[in-house]
């Protein structure tokens, strides 16, 4: 029992350390995001700075989703795109020994969507106030929806928060961003990421045409040399998502296609609001406690 308690304390310490690192990286990155700055510059900064501060690496590629993009956008290799007067979702994750901190903020460079940004921020605050041991995630979703609707916007209903586990950024349970008929009861010691999305659009996202983020979901032998070489290159990421721009394997597009066809990797297309609406996102990682929760990414 003593060893088990010690193990749990060590795990919590790693989650907390990851959260502190992420918080500093997020703050520094926010200050760098301005009209005319390169998206790739920000992504490289986020991913490298976390390691400089003591993280073992990124929990997933830095997501920089703009305007009607809700999630899964990350720069391409050699990307020369710069920020305009955009509504930017900066979603970043770091890990310490596979234990993950996940957080997101929205930065309005247009100056026109402050209320939309506030809506997702208030949704997150309402959720954090609701979370504690014994609470049903359906109640968390209702709190998020009420807070967002109070600002005159809609939650993005088919996006959710999620549990966290070692080297697994999207684990059980899902944390809904809207009312649902039945959820899951949260327990003390659960590690979850809560991420409300608000929109002035329809309230639903669909897959876009661009995919730059992938994840290994199964390992099995492959015959083609390019696919074998890529699978070898992916070993350090374990089950954490990776960006195409991180990879050096020759015939990369072909190798990715073969691994996806074989069910070895899963792709994450950029998610876009179906009605073309603007989207804001705010996210924190929390540890559920007996009477509330501890936010690790403040």
* pLDDT tens digit sequence for 105-134: 999 999 999 999 999 999 999 999 999 999
CA–CA distance, 220 with 264 (Å, rounded to integer): 7
Active-site pick, 47, 86, 108, 162? 162
Q: Which residues are annotated as a binding site for substrate?
A: 72, 170
Annotated active-site residue 284? The verdict is no
Within the chain, which residue ranges are assigned CATH 1.10.10.10? 210-270
CA-wise closest residue to 73 among 217, 283, 272: 272
Where does the pLDDT of residue 3 fall: very low under 50, low under 70, confident under 90, or very high at 90 and above?
low
Annotated active-site residue 170? The verdict is yes
Active-site pick, 47, 95, 170, 284? 170
Annotated active-site residue 294? The verdict is no
Active-site pick, 68, 91, 190, 200? 91
Q: How far is CA 100 from the centre of its chain?
A: 10
Multiple choice CATH, 2-207+271-295, 3.30.70.100, 3.90.230.10, 2.30.110.10, 3.40.50.300: 3.90.230.10
Annotated active-site residue 95? The verdict is no
Annotated active-site residue 283? The verdict is yes
Cα torsion 125, 127, 133, 135: sign: positive
Whether 6 has a pLDDT exceeding 80, the answer reads no
pLDDT tens digit sequence for 266-278:
999 999 999 999 9
Within the chain, which residue ranges are assigned CATH 3.90.230.10? 2-207+271-295
Active-site pick, 102, 122, 145, 200? 102
pLDDT tens digit sequence for 36-63:
999 999 999 999 999 999 999 999 999 9
Annotated active-site residue 91? The verdict is yes
Here the tokens at position 27 are 């703050």
pLDDT tens digit sequence for 130-172:
999 999 999 999 999 999 999 999 999 999 999 999 999 999 9
Where does the pLDDT of residue 1 fall: very low under 50, low under 70, confident under 90, or very high at 90 and above?
very low
Question: For residue 266, with 0-12 CB atoms within 10 Å meaning exposed, 13-18 middle and 19 or more buried, which class applies?
Answer: middle
pLDDT tens digit sequence for 64-82:
999 999 999 999 999 999 9
Evaluate whether the domain defined by 210-270 bears CATH number 1.10.287.130.
no
């Amino acid at each position: 029992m003593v060893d088990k308690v010690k193990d749990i304390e060590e795990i919590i310490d790693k989650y907390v350390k990851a959260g502190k690192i992420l918080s500093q990286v997020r703050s520094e990155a926010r200050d760098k995001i301005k009209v005319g700055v390169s998206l790739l510059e920000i992504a490289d900064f986020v991913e490298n700075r976390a390691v400089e501060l003591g993280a073992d690496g990124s929990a997933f590629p830095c997501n920089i989703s703009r305007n009607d993009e809700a999630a899964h956008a990350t720069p391409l290799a050699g990307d020369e795109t710069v920020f305009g007067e955009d509504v930017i979702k900066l979603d970043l994750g770091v890990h310490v020994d596979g234990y993950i901190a996940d957080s997101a903020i929205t930065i309005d460079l247009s100056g026109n969507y402050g209320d939309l940004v506030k809506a997702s921020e208030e949704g997150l605050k309402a959720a954090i106030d609701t979370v504690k041991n014994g609470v049903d995630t359906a109640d968390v979703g209702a709190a998020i929806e009420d807070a967002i609707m109070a600002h005159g916007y809609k939650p993005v209903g088919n996006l959710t928060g999620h549990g966290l586990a070692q080297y697994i950024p999207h684990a059980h349970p899902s944390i809904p961003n809207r009312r649902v008929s039945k959820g899951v009861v949260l327990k003390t010691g659960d590690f979850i990421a809560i991420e409300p999305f608000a929109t002035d659009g329809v309230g639903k996202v669909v897959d876009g045409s661009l995919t730059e983020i992938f994840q290994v979901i199964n390992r099995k032998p492959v015959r083609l040399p390019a696919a074998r070489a890529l699978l070898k290159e992916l070993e350090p990421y374990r089950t954490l998502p990776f960006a195409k721009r991180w990879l050096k394997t020759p015939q990369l597009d072909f190798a990715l296609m073969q691994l996806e066809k074989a069910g070895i990797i899963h792709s994450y297309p950029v998610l876009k609001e179906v009605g073309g609406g603007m989207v804001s996102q705010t996210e924190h990682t929390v540890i559920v406690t007996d009477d509330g929760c501890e936010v690790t990414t403040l």
